Amino acid sequence: MKSHNKKDWLKLTAVAVVAIVLAGLGTIIASNVAPASSPVGPVASEATTSTMTTTVTATTVPQPLAVAADSSSTTVPTEPAEIEVSDTVVEFGDTGTTVNLELTNIGGTTSTWTIESSEPAISTSPTEGEIESGEVVEVSALLDRTVVAEGELGAILTVFWGDQEVQVFVQGVHADNPVIIAPKASPSTVVAQTGADCSPGKTTITVRVKDTSEIAEVIVRWSNGASVVETTMTLSDVENYKAVIGPFVEVVSPNVKVVAKDVHDNAGGAAVPLSVVACP
């Protein structure tokens, strides 16, 4: 009987120990599972005999860098107006009165323009206007030969826009031929020197010569039989010239002609009426 009691006591003791151990394990598990924000009372803290620490490593996923938006827009500056001229040298020649130019705006903005001439005898049409980017404007330069000085022509056309300018050089020649006015032979009839009874026939040629430039020379040409004779005329006063020609040896037309040249080698001429008759 005593052995049975002893065995039963041992079993009870073992069960009590197991219960105590299980109770301790339950407390430990409960303390680890409970949130960190939930405080454990003083009793629970005292009852805990072992602490288990669990470390959780948070993985941070890199986020793309935010690009700040540029609030300022990029503006490409507009090129200012720039005018090109089709020719920088133009030529009127010795007879031309009109030459044409083309103005082209190769810049990026519209601009007004004007054109001026250094020579009063040269005008332009138009003289001013507005030209857009890429536009071509035709301008005519006009030469008034009735007022331009004789000789080599040199002038400048200047195109202005904004604070810019471009120059066009104008060349040409203006020739005014000398004008022969009232050529006359006095006497207008002479006798041919064909015999001893006739005196050598001579006559005086007079003429007026006008030109816009200086006269270089005035001569009178006439035929004396088979040959042609030239006689220089002299200035008698202002624009009047004279010369004595003869004698004539044949009864033929003497073909008298006055020729005047200016300093630019421009020439003008006129015939002089004169008759040659036989000796009576």
Q: What is the pLDDT of residue 185?
A: 96
Query: What is the pTM assigned to this prediction?
Result: 0.54
Q: What is the DSSP string of 123-168?
A: EEES-EEEE-TT-EEEEEEEE-TTTSPSEEEEEEEEEEETTEEEEE
CA quadruple 222, 225, 228, 229: dihedral positive or negative?
negative
pLDDT, averaged across the chain: 81
CB 135 within 8 A of CB 112: no
For residue 50, the SS3 value is coil
d(Cα 113, Cα 135) in Å, to the nearest integer?
13
Mean pLDDT per 10-residue interval, the chain, length 280 residues: 52 59 55 48 44 47 55 70 95 93 95 96 96 96 89 92 95 90 94 73 94 92 88 93 91 94 92 90
Q: What is the pLDDT of residue 76?
A: 66
All domains in the chain, ordered by first residue: 2-47 (no CATH), 83-174 (2.60.40.10), 179-277 (2.60.40.10)
Q: What is the pLDDT of residue 43?
A: 41
Q: What is the pLDDT of residue 227?
A: 87
- Helix, strand, coil percentages (3-state) for the chain, rounded to 5, are 15, 45, 45
Q: What is the pLDDT of residue 273?
A: 95
